[in-house]
A and B are shown apart, each in its own frame.
Chain A
């Protein structure tokens, strides 16, 4: 990997949310750095803290959330940044694509207007200029007949088309960092690939850094250079895709890998599941959060919060028993 000055640098990010069940540590010490053109995948099941991490980067967490650690965008500290300053960054230097294209657009405004708006606000474009640019963007994201359809309302588009529109919206001001929070979860599988290819093209074309969030190992593996597996608010495994796919180190990642559906499996084959449920973020154990569901957990796993262990170059695993887990060679593409 080339060494470049990081564009966005997250250091020991912690988020405590005030829920009805008391304070919950949704993110516990997440760190990473991304340079221009680099892509990072965040993977984990619902409630593991991946979306909260994304919202923290966007500064969109509720005001009651307590955020500590540091998020730097080209050296500028974003934690504790005033709302007005954050508004100037959002949609301009940091953008986000959301999971639900069906609800991410305002039903009352034309799509052209919604794509043009960030341009008018952040770039000071005139209405005509912004409209022209919006049509060009809609055309770029592959909306057929963009010039004519810019005047249409969101409900007149299909899910895939709407997701293209939200991508156009997010990319309008050519942001430096793009966060895509499960951009294809709500779409048909046939559309999924097209949308992901589109995002990948645009990321490469504009030299953005991208954080792709998903719970689909396949989506992550095919679309990013590095990935982080999150569980219980912490990063349990991180590294380059190549390193991870030559052998997953954390029992949780291994479980995720085993749980994926496979083509060609005999009819009636049940998907492998991970026993147990995700721990409540409001009362996480003091040791490894996965210990209760782990098949190789020992007493010390419940006592100590495991530090990350470098199992290979650029491959860290937060597990005390990497010797056993790595030996299983789960997730190796050859396996």
Chain B
């Protein structure tokens, strides 16, 4: 369950105050040319695109209807009819995997969206206002951070009932402190820089400085972090669904498929392997993408490769 614990991965470039801003703006062409040469960015991008296109494809086409139960064809081995076979209810595995990608992406996008929007705003406020406001925001986020995420998710489902919405809320809430911390830390570094003082000296208020100077300068850090948090959210969703707290049947999800496969592990072990590979691929892809973006946004690192 380590996937549930949100980890603040500080990309290099946050700690020294001058590093965050040394990410010089580049012409888009230059960025993409470098990006396409970056191996882990390309690999991560391909895997991530694969997952997204699987989800998109499932909206218009699946080999079989994903919800159709066909007991006469249950637990079929891979064949030309069912490419990866069928599960205990005779549902087509390929179709389930395609539709399952939808749940993973939906949960990931919305949960990271919650974390990013709330966390970044709070972090920016903390850095701009300082004083007791910063103190309150940081202590609250420490408090949330200190709670075992899985326990709180279970608590939340006990109160609100299990389901996709509950799991999105639970995962989203635990994304917030990660973004609060990383935003405040990198925003503080920007606030300490002379161009912010110069901006204040030219009459800008804190709100405009935050929007026009601080946010653009920490955006690359947030994008990288969001990619990594996306991967963690997918893992968390799978974990919650596996425990029966996430996506509810009949809605397919990779975590639920793992759960279903568990009781048949000895008859048809492959049933657990497919969703496992799907989860691993998605998480690996997003992590590689995050690593790649981090390198590409950091001019000093990219030169070394």
Contacts and interface: CB of A to CB of B under 8 A. Distances in A.
B203 A155 contact: no
B18 A103 contact: yes
A124 B134 CA distance: 33
Q: Which of A91, A105, A153 is packed against the most chain B CB atoms within 10 Å?
A: A91
A250 B80 CA distance: 98
B131 A105 contact: no
Interface stretch (B1-9, B20-28, B160-168): B20-28
A107 B25 contact: yes
B201 interface: yes
Interface in B58-98: none
B205 interface: yes
A103 B193 contact: yes
B217 interface: yes
Given A107-B217, A108-B25, A108-B216, A92 B203 contact: yes
A83 B205 CA distance: 8
B13 to A, nearest CB: 13
A78 interface: no
B195 A104 contact: yes
A259 interface: no
Contacts of A105: 195, 198
Chain A interface residue bracket vs B: 20 to 34
A206 to B, nearest CB: 17
Given A106-B217, A153-B24, A91 B193 contact: no
B203 A121 contact: yes
A29 to B, nearest CB: 25
A94 B8 CA distance: 42
Interface string A69-82: 00000000000000
Interface in B101-124: none
Interface string A143-156: 00000000001010
Nearest to A153: B25
Contacts of A243: none
Which of B23, B131, B193, B197 has its CB near the most chain A CB atoms (within 10 A)?
B197
B204 interface: yes
Interface in B1-46: 18, 21-25
A60 B195 contact: no
Nearest to A93: B203
Contacts of A103: 18, 21, 193-195
A214 interface: no
B3 to A, nearest CB: 34
Interface string B209-244: 000110011000000000000000000000000000
Most interface-central of B193, B199, B203, B205 (chain A CB within 10 A):
B203
Contacts of B304: none
B203 A60 contact: no
A83 B200 CA distance: 11
Contact of B197 (A98, A107, A155): A98
A84 B217 contact: no
B131 A88 contact: no
B267 interface: no
Interface in A160-215: 166, 169-170, 172
A159 to B, nearest CB: 13
A6 to B, nearest CB: 22
B25 A58 contact: no
B176 to A, nearest CB: 26
Contacts of A96: 198, 201
Given A84-B205, A106-B195, A153-B25, A60 B217 contact: no
17 contacts: A58-B201, A60-B200, A87-B203, A90-B200, A95-B202, A98-B201, A99-B194, A100-B194, A103-B18, A104-B195, A105-B198, A106-B216, A108-B217, A121-B202, A153-B24, A155-B24, A169-B198
Interface of B: 18, 21-25, 130-131, 193-195, 197-205, 212-213, 216-217
Interface of A: 58, 60, 63, 83-84, 87-92, 95-96, 98-100, 103-109, 117-118, 121-122, 153, 155, 166, 169-170, 172
